[in-house]
């Protein structure tokens, strides 16, 4: 079953991501991005990282996606993509893709069957965050605050 789900989710995610990268209607593309993220979250569920999945949904779909669509709205003047494909970009992306695939396939030590592990509970994550990762956590908190203020300052209208 997980195999089927994996394939379905992969197809969904990659398709949505591709749509994001190519759709000319910006709003559609943005929503496709949301869909891709949803797929990614499903991946995380599938891999047993429920918390990360939920956090991804919470943060990206609940917040970042809304921000993105808002930004698109606020810069509405060109909500349609400018024409012309940047072929060099496509080329580079494809080259990178090939390189990565080649690297993955070439590496032998990766073919491991998934070990049976006990689920990682939220409580464990919380404890780890509060013990071993306290400093990073605080730093991230500081970073978020700074980002919040910075964003506000950037967006605030300059007083005349």
Partner 1 sequence: MYRIMTPTLPLVLIVSAALFSIGLLAALSRRHAIFILIGIEMMLAAANLNFIAFWRFAPPPHPSTGVMIAIFSIAISAAEAAVGLAMVIAVYRHYRTTNVDEYDQLKG
Partner 2 sequence: MSSALDQIFVHAKHWLLSWIAGAPGWVVQIVSSLINIVALLIVFLTLFALISVLERKILGRMQNRYGPNRVGPFGLFQPVADGIKMLIKEDIVPARADKVLHFLAPVILAAVAILTLGVIPYGRNMTAFRIDGGILFFFAVGSATELAVFMAGWASNNKFSMLGAMRAIAQMFSYELPLIITVLPAVMVVGSLMPDRIVFAQGEYTLGIVPRWFVFTPWGAAAFILFFVSGLVESNRTPFDVPEGESEIVAGHMTEYSGFKYATFFLAEYLGMFAVSGMAVTLFLGGWHAPARVLEFVPSYLWFFGKLSALLFVYIWLRATLPRTRVDQMMNVAWKFMLPMAFTCVIAAAVWHYGGRGLRGWLWSLLVIVVVYSALSILLDTRRKFARRVYRFAE
Partner 3 sequence: MNPGILSNLWLLPAVPFAAAVVILSLPKSRRKIASGLAIASQVIVLGISIAAFVPTLRTPGFRAVQNFTWFTFGEQTLQLGFVLDPLAAAMLLMISLVGLCIFVFSVGYMADDVNFTRFFAYMSFFSGAMLGVAIANSLLLFFMFWELVGLASYLLIGFWIDRPSAAAAAKKAFITTRIGDMGFFLGMLWLYHGSGTLVFYNDGRGCLEGAGLALLGGSATFIALLIFCGAVGKSGQFPLHVWLPDAMEGPTPVSALIHAATMVAAGVFLVARVYPLFSLGATNGVTSSLTVVVWIGVTTALMAALIAIAQSDIKRILAYSTVSQLGLMMVSLGVGGVAAGIMHLLAHGFFKALLFLGSGSVIHGCHHEQDIRKMGGLRRLMPVTFATYAIGMLALSGVPLFFSGGWSKEEILHATAHWSPSRAPYYLMLAGVVLTALYMTRQMIYVFFGNRRSAAEHAHESPRVMTMPLIVLAIGTVFLSVVLTPAWPWMDDYLTGESAHFSIAELIQPMLFISLVLVGVGIAVGIWLYRKAGEQDRDRAAEVDPLEYAQPAVFRFLANKMWIDELYARTIIAFAWASARLSDWMDRYFWDGLVRGFGAIGQLFGVFTTDMDERCINAGVDETTVGARGLGRLLSGAHSGQIQMYLGVVAVGMLALLLLYAWLA
3-state secondary structure string across 18-49: HHHHHCCEHHHHHHHHHHHHHHHHHHHHHCCC
Residue 160 C-beta: closest distance to partner 3, Å: 28
Residue 113, CB-side half-sphere exposure with 13 Å CA sphere: 2
Q: What is the DSSP string of 130-149?
A: HHTTHHHHHHHHHHHHHHHH
Question: Which residue is associated with the tokens 């398709």?
Answer: 15
Crossing angle between the packed helical segments 2-22 and 26-46, to the nearest 10 degrees: 160
Question: Which residue is associated with the tokens 């991946």?
Answer: 43
Which tokens belong to 60? 């990206």
Partner whose footprint covers residue 35, from partner 1, partner 3, partner 2, none (CB < 5 to 8 Å by kind): none
Site string for partner 2, 121-160 (x = CB under 8 A): xxx-------------------------------------
Q: Kindly identify the residues of this chain, within the stretch 44-63, that bind partner 1 according to CB under 8 A.
A: 44, 46-49, 51-52, 55-56, 59-60, 63
Q: Is 12 in the site for partner 2 (CB under 8 A)?
A: no
Q: Kindly identify the residues of this chain, within the stretch 41-100, that bind partner 3 according to CB under 8 A.
A: 86, 88-89, 92-93, 95-96, 99-100
Q: By CB under 8 A, name the binding residues for partner 2.
A: 1, 27-28, 31, 34, 50-51, 54-55, 57-58, 61-63, 65-66, 69-70, 73, 119, 121-123
Interacting residues with partner 3 (CB under 8 A): 86, 88-89, 92-93, 95-96, 99-100, 102-103, 106
């Amino acid at each position: 079953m997980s195999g089927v789900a994996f394939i379905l989710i992969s197809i969904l995610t990659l398709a949505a991501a591709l749509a994001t990268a190519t759709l000319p209607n910006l709003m559609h593309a943005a929503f496709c991005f949301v869909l891709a993220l949803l797929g990614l979250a499903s991946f995380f569920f599938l891999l047993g990282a429920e918390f990360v999945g939920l956090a991804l949904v919470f943060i990206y779909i609940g917040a970042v996606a809304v921000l993105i669509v808002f930004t698109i709205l606020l810069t509405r003047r060109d909500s349609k993509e400018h024409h012309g494909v940047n072929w060099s970009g496509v080329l580079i992306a494809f080259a990178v893709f090939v390189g990565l695939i080649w690297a993955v396939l070439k590496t032998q030590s990766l073919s491991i069957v998934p070990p049976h592990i006990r689920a990682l509970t939220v409580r464990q994550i919380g404890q780890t965050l509060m013990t071993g990762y306290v400093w990073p956590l605080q730093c991230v908190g500081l970073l978020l605050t700074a980002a919040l203020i910075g964003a506000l300052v950037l967006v605030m209208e300059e007083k005349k």
